[in-house]
Structure 1
Amino acid sequence: MTIHPRGLDFLRDVDVRLSVELGRTQMKLKEVLSLGPESLVVLDRMTDELLDVLVNGKPIAKGEVVSHNGRFGLRIVEMVGIEDSASAAAPAALPDSDEA
């Protein structure tokens, strides 16, 4: 098997679906059918919580809603798994031999 000299650069033009999840709720079908103008659906997320950023349904980041030129935007605050990967790669601290 030959590795392409450009590595995975050829994948950069592949379309993916990026979505932002505001929150979730669970409802009975009869409640969904009764929704209409002025209905209120309460979600499971607090107003000060970061939103989930998903690529093809997989969480990749967390962000916050911003306004940009009259449109909604999203400011990425943290990437999912970056801190976890760094701490997993770092060796665990060993107790000092003097402290026993």
Structure 2
Amino acid sequence: MNRYGESSISAALGHDAGRASESPAREAYANGAEGPGLDLIKRIPVSVQVVLGSATMTVAELMQLGRGSIVTLDRGVGEPVEILVNGRVVARGEVVVIEEENSRLGVSLTEIVGTPSAAASRTK
């Protein structure tokens, strides 16, 4: 028994190595139910960034930047922006205006980016 009162992680998740069928915990998760540990995972903070574009310049060009300077990005108007979670691209989308009077922007997701391993397993 571990410090959480379960004999193993598998027991905590409802897995039984001797059973061939789906465990109740896995079936509940597949049906949209949440397990006891999922609430803890949902509270983990992540960093979400939206990348409009990037630019490459020399140090001399960087030092010449000042108020009113314009940095030309590698993407044009209407091209999708990338949404990164903890530094990894997870989606792409379009910039939208949320509140015109407060000049707030948002991103409408247009594509969810899958992991390379997930894409490879689907083709097999």
Q: How many residues align?
A: 90
- The two structures, once aligned, show a CA RMSD in angstroms of 2.2
Per the TM alignment, residue 88 of structure 1 is displaced from its structure 2 partner at its CA by 5.2
Uncovered stretches (5+) of structure 1, i.e. residues with no partner: 92-100
The percentage of aligned residue pairs carrying the same residue is 32
1:49 to 59, 62, 79: 79
The residue that corresponds to 1:69 in the other structure is 99
Whole-angstrom CA distance in 2 between matches of 1:34 and 1:12 = 44
> Is 1:81 matched with 2:81?
no
Q: For structure 2, which runs of at least 5 residues remain unmatched after alignment? A: 1-7, 14-34
Which structure shows the bigger proportion of residues in helix conformation? 2
Q: 1:72 to 1:44 in 2, by over 3 A?
A: same
Cα distance change, pair 27–87 in 1 and its aligned pair in 2 (3 A): same
Structure label with greater radius of gyration: 2
1:44 partner letter = D
Q: CA deviation at 1:47?
A: 1.6
Structure-1 separation of matches of 2:37 and 2:74: 38
What TM-score do the two structures reach when normalised by structure 2?
Answer: 0.63
Relative to the length of structure 1, the TM-score reads 0.76
Report Cα offsets for 1:30-81 as digits up to 9, x if no partner. Answer: 2111111221111111222100000011000001000112310110111012
